[in-house]
Amino acid sequence: MIDDRQFNRRGFLKSGASLVGLAAAGSLLPLSAARAAPLTVGFIYVGAKDDFGYNQAHAEGAAALKAIEGVTLVEEENVPETVDVQKTMESMINFDGASLIFPTSFGYFDPHILAMAPKYPDVRFQHAGGMWSADKHPMNVGSYFGYIGMGQYLNGIAAGHATKTKKIGFVAAKPIPQVLLNINSFLLGARSVDPTITCQVIFTGEWSMAVKEAEAVNALADQGADVVTCHVDGPKVVMETGAGRGMFLCGYHASQASLAPDKYLTGAEWNWAQVYTEMVNTTLSGGTIPNFVRGGLAQGFIKMSPLGPAVSAEARTQFEATQAEIMKGGFAAIKGPLKDNKGNVIATEGQSFAEDDVALESMDYLVEGVVGSIS
């Protein structure tokens, strides 16, 4: 959680409804508050900063920047992927003097960042998602991303040890490559424990739709799945519904341990604090952030939630051994012999796709053992 916010949305609406308590009139700020910091950094989120998920992970990373001398942080949440985000970027540049902007939603890149970058050549735009390419995009745009599929592989190991029914579940937003890689990695992690495990996947079709996510978890539980993870923007509903049905939980994006500490096994988290601190320090020291940055567990781009109390000693041993293996770099979750769930060969004996293999970025299959369909 971001603990230095004075108000959150819910509390604000609540106090609006009751209108209780007298408070002193606020101090009169001058309208154009002079900000004499050497670097103003802007963060834009597509959802709420405290969504227990994608946006919170970025907001936690942004909060780490406040500790850096000379950095002013400006943020805006719930900004849709329309002309709104273009104007928010311009507003941060014009009114706050932001010269480094992190529009964090995947959908902000094309066309919105690409529309603003040529107009403000002195501003650096950093986008999470890894879409920048040198021959197509401006040099004041950069992209970064992490191999979080490895985190889902480790989630799968914890899940594989915890499941009694040998059925695990995955609530997914859309059948796009990043999500498919997570689903496949989760199952393959579990199958490294017991090759008879299957994973049922349910696509909700939306990045953020609480009702469908809750329905999906209930459907998974009804079908006998006893561990659940997800790839949606805010995993809160999945975790709470799953805990209510007595399922074990593997987190995603940020730590959801506080929602159900007894049921939470571990989680694949972004570690944006380290990434952002490094990027800002590079900028402050006069350097240029590389346009194309990626990393995994080894580079500190992602991290795992601490193992929960429900994780057995045996599970812990395998989890830690595999984590150490991944830390060496070049680990491959997708390796032969492997078929997809329609019987097509994905990888032959000896063939493997390491975490940084670009072939994984156009994944269009679910591996054998995943119950579900893309189309």
Partner 1 sequence: MRRSEAVALPLLALIAGLAAFGVFLLLLGKSPIDFYGYVYQAGFGSAFSWENTLSRAAPLLLAALCVAIPARLGLVVIGGEGAIVLGGVAAGVTGASFPGLGLGGIALMAVAGALTGALWIGAVGWMRVRRGVNETISSLLMAYIAIALMNHFVESVFRDPASLNKPSTAPLEEAYRLADMPGMAVHWGLGIGLVACIVSYIVMERTTWGFAARIVGGNVRAAQIQGLPTGRLILGFTALAGSFAGLAGMVEVSAVHGSANGSLAAGYGYTGILIAFLARHNALAIIPVAVLLAGFEASSGLVQRRLDLPDATMLVLQGLVFVAILVSETLVGRFRLFKPETWVRA
Residues making contact with partner 1 (CB under 8 A): 5-9, 12-13, 15-16, 19, 21-29, 31-33, 74-84, 86-88, 90-92, 94-96, 106-107, 109-111, 129, 174-178, 205-206, 361-362, 375
Min dist. Cβ of residue 21 to partner 1 (A):
7
Distance CA 209, CA 74 (A): 28
Closer residue to partner 1, CB minimum distance, 38 or 111: 111
Cβ burial, residue 56 (10 Å; 0-12/13-18/19+):
buried
Min dist. Cβ of residue 177 to partner 1 (A):
5
Closer residue to partner 1, CB minimum distance, 111 or 337: 111
> Could you tell me which of 204, 82, 130, 195 has the C-alpha nearest to residue 356?
130
Judge if the upstream peptide bond of residue 111 is cis by omega within 30 degrees of 0: yes
Judge if the upstream peptide bond of residue 337 is cis by omega within 30 degrees of 0: yes
Handedness of CA 359, 289, 146, 84 (dihedral sign): negative
Closer residue to partner 1, CB minimum distance, 114 or 217: 114
Closer residue to partner 1, CB minimum distance, 133 or 282: 133
Residues 12-36 as b/e (b if ≥16 CB within 10 A, e otherwise) read eeeeeeeeeeeeeeeeeeeeeeeee
Min dist. Cβ of residue 223 to partner 1 (A):
24
Min dist. Cβ of residue 307 to partner 1 (A):
30
| Secondary structure percentages of the chain, helix, strand, coil, to 5 | 35, 20, 45
Min dist. Cβ of residue 181 to partner 1 (A):
11
Distance CA 324, CA 93 (A): 43
Closer residue to partner 1, CB minimum distance, 90 or 356: 90
Closer residue to partner 1, CB minimum distance, 152 or 266: 152
Distance CA 256, CA 241 (A): 13
Closer residue to partner 1, CB minimum distance, 174 or 245: 174
CA angle (105 as vertex; 100, 111 as ends), nearest 5: 80
Min dist. Cβ of residue 170 to partner 1 (A):
18
Min dist. Cβ of residue 155 to partner 1 (A):
21
Half-sphere exposure of 172 (CA within 13 A, CB side): 26
Min dist. Cβ of residue 108 to partner 1 (A):
9
Closer residue to partner 1, CB minimum distance, 42 or 251: 42
Whether the CB-CB separation of 20 and 53 falls below 8 Å is answered with no
